[in-house]
Amino acid sequence: MRLLTPLLFALIGGCATVVVTMQLDERFGPADPGRFDHPPAATRAAPDYWKDVRPVLDQRCVSCHACYDAPCQLNLASYAGITRGASARAVYSASRLLADEPTRLGFDALSNRQWRSKDFFPVLNERAQTPEANREGGAMLRMLAMKRASEWPSSGPLKDKDLDFSLDREQTCVTAEGAEHYANSHPTRGMPFGLPPLAEGEFNTLSRWLEAGAPYSPPAPPKPEVTRQISAWEALLNADDKRSQLVARYIYEHWYIGQFHFPEQPERNFDLVRSRSAPGQPIDVIATRRPFDDPGVARVYYRLRSMEATQVAKTYMPLELNPARLKRVRGWFFGDAYPVEQLPGYQPEIASNPFTTFAALPVNARYRFMLDEAQFTVMGFMKGPVCRGQVALSVINDHFWVVFLEPGERENKATEQLLKLAAPNLNLPAEHQSTVGLLAWRDYAEKEKAYLETKGKLQSKLLAGNYQYALNKLWDGDGQNPNAALTVLRHFDSASVVRGLLGEQPQTTLVMGYPLLERMHYLLVAGFDVYGNVGHQLATRLYMDFLRMEGEMTFVSLLPASERRAVFERWYRGGDRQLKHLAEAARYFQVDSSQNFRSNDHLGELYQRLKQQLAPVREAALDWKGSGLSAGEIKQMNRLAQIKGLPVSHLPEMSVLVLKQPNGETRVVSLVSNSAHSNVAELFREEKRRLPKEDTLLAINGIAGAYPNAILTVDSENLPNFVDAVSRLDSEADLVKLLDRYGVRRTNPAFWKTSDAIHAVWRKMAPQEAAVLDYSRLDNL
């Protein structure tokens, strides 16, 4: 009987939905799937979409409803996302046996009628347009009203067991027809889910707009100065000669995930798409699963398309296009003469391997292009075509540094020879497209070994005797580029990338040259498919294991050869398979380091000297310069950064600290807890590999992360007491006490006011990087 009860409820709910559908059809006529393909025009009687409605959606709804992890794929970041509606199909799946069809907004369907054929249902009323019909026939308004009708606590953690905040909770996708049944069954699940209801004015704005039929007017066109720059970039990307076409393809396959703006209108974003139509004509977007898939046309054009969607931190990858960058790109790819006799095809085994596809392009040009905005490049590995990915990100540590080999002429020539010799062993999982066998990773393991052997032999032949690894072989950003040094911070299934080396010592460090940087991009970004099957995801994760170790091996090569094994044994405690791989690879890299050391702690000294060497390109904000904090406040921030071990292990992964100063100013600091592990070489049982006594804490000026787990507010005079309380954390009960005193919980009446203050401060600090934070991971303690 217990097993039958859920089934009975489901049957009852399903029958009720059918009845309500018939009633709505009888009262307001049948639904028209194409109703919002031609949206109602704006009127003076209704709130204006851009001036009134969009700000409320951005500040209260987009936090959870954006990107692939939006509940029921309901993306409220743009009008197109609102009118597309929702779907019960899950994007993320760790057990998918066959690749699923993609459902990317702006690509895989270009009308609401098309989305209905892909099983998306409306959240707006698509029947007759009357205020009554729009109230009763739209799920969005009913879910907002449902929240206001329920009582919401004003303090403490939420105790309602019907509110599930787990990451992989079962999703319930509510239609207008099922809204009444859902409200009766789950009265506290209205929107915003698990957060305070909208203020009366905000609710009235949205409800009046929805009752009026969700009127909309397109945004104004870009400024003339921006249009001229777009023309200049599209001229570069769409020249007719073969060399230009190959360069454009390379740029597109690296930039297609970005959001671009111009200095004359920085608030306006664009994306780079493939189009069937040439510049000067309306964009006819080519939608393929991957950027290197066959476009199905003889000639591809690369176009900058205006974006309406509000930017969210979990996917935002901003890049400014300006005349200086255009000049640099031209210089790298067109400064020297070289032939491109034939354009490569789009067969998966060719297109998925950038070293085959772009062999005609100079290595120096490709490497410089990726280095110039290395934060953007590496950020793509973390955000890329997904907004969360625990399977992929479980392969990296919580806190590590990334630096790069110098793009010198000698090194580039050696790399060109290496790629010619090793190209057959550099294939990537995307050659199998999105459905990969579960054991395919074994083939890639053998190819990686063969590649490392080739690399080792070539280095011995070309560089032996007068070339050894040392800090002076690392790129210094040409003395001015802060992208020379990066810190990666992993937050379970998301990660952030910061320019500069944060922390006294990282958990590990990667040194990347061009081949490694390029393979990571084509493994984790261009070649990765979030809709792919479990074999594709597994092969990607395990291949990344090899690439991470390759970068770590290069860094450890800066140490004396006799000390390298001990470093690996600490980094891979319990990782027998990885230690065996490293031992085998070490046979090919036995050249000793030429780095001189003065102390007995060679690894610690190496970290310190690395920071000293890259200090000229370190941004002042990392050291609290210009932060607006007093000397006493900075002292407390440094105290926080010195807390280690068990107290840190009880903190949330990422907390936003709102510091209220005596002068009335508000400052924002990120507290990032770095969880230590015996190794990151295993797919599962992460908690079994935890080393809480080795956890560290970073206090970072501004926002570092997209998914805060806690919001804390502290008055400046109480900051020393707050730091003391953090240093004494000994249990979850202590954390609850800390939240009782300083936390802004989901129930706090000031939650939205605090959220608005955080975003306002962030926009002031970093106007081109600030975006909307996701509150779906807030702890309920």
Strand partners, 396: none
Residue 410 has a CB neighbour count (10 Å cut-off) of 11
Q: Give 34's pLDDT tier (boundaries 50, 70, 90).
A: very high
User: Is 164 buried (19+), middle (13-18) or exposed (0-12) by CB count in 10 A?
Assistant: middle
Looking at residue 242, its amino acid is K
State the pLDDT at residue 169: 84
The reported pLDDT for the residue numbered 586 is 73
Q: Provide the pLDDT for residue 423.
A: 82
Where b means 16+ CB within 10 Å and e means fewer, 262-282 reads beeeeebbbbbbbbbeebeee
In which band, very low, low, confident or very high, does the pLDDT at 8 lie, cut at 50, 70 and 90? very low
Q: What is the pLDDT of residue 200?
A: 96
Residues constituting the chain: 781
490-514 residue pLDDT tens: 987 788 999 999 999 999 999 999 9
* Termini Cα distance of the chain: 35
Sign of CA dihedral 366, 367, 372, 376: positive
Element (H or E) spanning 673, and its range? strand 666-674
Q: Tokens for 254, please give them.
A: 């690296």
User: Which of helix, strand or coil describes residue 569?
Assistant: helix
What pLDDT was estimated at residue 455? 84
Position 97 confidence tier, pLDDT thresholds 50, 70, 90: confident
Contact 179, 146 (CB under 8 A): yes
What's the mean pLDDT in 235-240? Answer: 98
CA–CA gap between residue 602 and residue 592 (Å, rounded) = 14
Judge whether 777 and 709 are in contact, CB under 8 Å.
yes
What value does the mean pLDDT of the chain take? 91
Which of 321, 320, 283, 286 has its CA nearest to residue 305? 283
Q: What is the pLDDT of residues 317-373, one digit of tens each?
A: 999 999 999 999 999 999 999 999 999 999 999 999 999 999 999 999 999 999 999
Instruction: Look up tokens 């999982």; give the residue.
Output: 429
H helices within 387-533, ranges in order?
390-393, 409-422, 441-463, 514-524
What pLDDT does residue 3 have? 43
Give the C-alpha separation, 528 to 543, whole Å: 12
User: Which of 531 and 202 is assigned the larger pLDDT?
Assistant: 202
- Confidence check: pLDDT of 2 > 50: no
Question: What percentage of the chain exceeds 90 in pLDDT?
Answer: 72
Give me the mean pLDDT over the 79-102 stretch.
87
Of the listed ranges 186-190, 304-308, 437-441, 604-608, the one predicted with least confidence: 437-441
What is the mean predicted confidence (pLDDT) over 71-76? 96
- Look up residue 50 and give its DSSP letter: I
**202-206, 491-495, 671-675: least confident range:** 491-495
The kind and range of the H/E element at 132 are: helix 131-136
Q: Is the peptide bond before 652 cis (omega within 30 degrees of 0)?
A: no
Contact 37, 214 (CB under 8 A): no
Backbone dihedral region for residue 199 (phi beyond 0: left; psi -120 to 50: alpha; all else: beta): beta
Confidence of residue 6 (pLDDT cuts 50, 70, 90): very low
The Cα-based distances of 53 to 192, 260, 649 in angstroms read 15, 25, 41
Element holding 318 (H helix, E strand): strand 318-320
DSSP conformational letter for 772? B
Structure tokens, 24: 């709505």
